[in-house]
């Protein structure tokens, strides 16, 4: 069997080994700029001039980007790919979970379910964005359709939704009963950690500072994170299937996008845009993903989205099982789904 005929799991196996030294470096080059930028924003607000206030507000965006990168490091810890030691992965993940306001074990459980069922129409609803088929949508009454339309509206999906998810939903491990006590303990510990961290920040700064710096960073970071997650699976060429024809490798390769962002954006989002590779082998550390695409150039042409391409994905809301593709509400209204 040649290299190119091997399953992708075997071809990507050499990249799965964690690099402890590189992991520490990746954490350092994310945490240090994040803390430094937080202090710069604090200083800009304290100067009290209109121009410095504007500069501080603009600086919230890159700070939120670094928050996203911290989340990706936490994400890799959850996959066991950041460090060679499981204990190191777990404790770094838990500590970062306080900063990102994401309970580590709870989120890890949901995310594992997402990886096990991504692209499977019969196993939707675990750690993914709710997507109805055309028939499911048409079978709902007026209020059911209205609620789904509201849920899929950009203002909710990328604004209110992420804020609700990270500030409120993550405080209670809804849907994690089957995973045992760990998600609950993780959430309680995470909540305690957030209270302690918040109290320290408020003590050394003020309530006002906390509300105008830390909360906006979390909310903006959450919106960026949800957007990234959205375009990784909700795009024109995505693939969905039902049991028993659903296959993990096919779903990973064709149901996840390659979000080919400019290098600075790729860096700040932890290369998670190379999502098809991540789903093919979730144990590959995020910093090795670009090397995989470089060594296997055929992967660069599968599910590729540019930044401009991704903006068009917002309209995709329903899965048409006949056409085997995502369509918009407008397409459905125009009879696209039933067209010959």
**Residue-level pLDDT at 88:** 97
Q: Is residue 284 within 8 Å of 299, Cβ to Cβ?
A: no
Assess if residue 323 is contained within a domain. Answer: yes
Assess if residue 79 is contained within a domain. Answer: no
CA distance 1 to 243: 29
**Residue-level pLDDT at 183:** 79
Assess if residue 66 is contained within a domain. Answer: no
Assess if residue 54 is contained within a domain. Answer: no
Secondary structure of residue 115 in the 3-state scheme: helix
**Residue-level pLDDT at 337:** 47
* pLDDT more than 70, % of the chain: 94
Which regions of the chain are under pLDDT 70?
1-5, 174-179, 334-340
Burial class (CB in 10 A: 0-12, 13-18, 19+), 21: exposed
CA distance 202 to 149: 39
**Residue-level pLDDT at 169:** 86
| Lookup: tokens for 269 | 């989002």
Assess if residue 45 is contained within a domain. Answer: no
Our count of domains for the chain comes to 1
Cα angle: 169, vertex 30, 164; to 5 degrees: 15
Question: Mutual orientation of helices 50-78 and 215-233 as an angle, nearest 10°?
Answer: 50
Secondary structure of residue 305 in the 3-state scheme: strand
**Residue-level pLDDT at 123:** 87
Assess if residue 17 is contained within a domain. Answer: no
- Give the Cβ contact number of residue 172 at 10 Å: 14
**Residue-level pLDDT at 128:** 79
**Strand partners of residue 304:** 258
| Structure confidence by residue, pLDDT tens digits, 197-224 | 999 999 999 999 899 999 999 999 999 9
CA distance 261 to 224: 13
CA distance 211 to 156: 22
Residue-number span of the structural domain to which 151 is assigned: 103-338
Question: Mutual orientation of helices 86-100 and 182-204 as an angle, nearest 10°?
Answer: 50
Q: What average pLDDT is seen over the chain?
A: 91
**Residue-level pLDDT at 50:** 81
Assess if residue 137 is contained within a domain. Answer: yes
CA distance 115 to 121: 13
Assess if residue 238 is contained within a domain. Answer: yes
């Amino acid at each position: 069997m040649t290299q190119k005929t091997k399953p992708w799991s075997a071809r990507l196996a050499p990249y799965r080994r964690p690099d402890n030294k590189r992991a520490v470096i990746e954490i350092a080059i994310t945490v240090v700029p994040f803390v430094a930028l937080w202090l710069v924003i604090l200083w800009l607000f304290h100067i009290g001039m209109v121009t410095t206030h504007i500069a501080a507000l603009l600086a919230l965006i890159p700070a939120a980007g670094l928050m996203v990168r911290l989340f990706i490091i936490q994400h890799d810890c959850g996959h066991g790919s950041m460090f060679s030691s499981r204990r190191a992965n777990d404790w770094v993940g838990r500590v970062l979970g306080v900063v990102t306001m994401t309970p580590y074990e709870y989120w890890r459980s949901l995310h594992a379910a997402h990886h096990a069922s991504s692209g499977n129409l019969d196993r939707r609803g675990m750690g993914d964005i709710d997507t109805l088929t055309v028939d499911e949508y048409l079978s709902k009454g007026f209020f059911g359709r209205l609620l789904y339309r509201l849920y899929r509206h950009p203002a909710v999906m990328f604004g209110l939704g992420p804020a609700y998810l990270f500030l409120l939903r993550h405080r209670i491990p809804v849907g994690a009963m089957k995973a045992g006590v760990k998600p609950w303990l993780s959430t309680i510990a995470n909540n305690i950690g957030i209270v302690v961290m918040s109290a320290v920040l408020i003590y050394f700064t003020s309530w006002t500072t906390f509300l105008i710096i830390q909360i906006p960073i979390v909310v903006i970071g959450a919106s960026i994170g949800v957007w990234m997650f959205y375009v990784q699976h909700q795009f024109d060429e995505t693939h969905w299937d039902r049991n028993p024809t659903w296959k993990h490798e096919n779903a990973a390769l064709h149901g996840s996008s390659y979000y080919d962002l400019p290098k600075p954006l790729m860096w700040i989002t932890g290369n998670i845009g190379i999502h098809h590779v991540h789903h093919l082998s979730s144990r590959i550390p995020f910093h090795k993903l670009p090397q995989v695409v470089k060594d296997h150039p055929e992967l660069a042409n599968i599910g590729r989205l540019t930044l401009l391409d991704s903006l068009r994905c917002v309209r995709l809301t329903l899965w048409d099982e006949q056409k085997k593709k995502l369509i918009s509400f407008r397409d459905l209204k125009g009879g696209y789904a039933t067209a010959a």
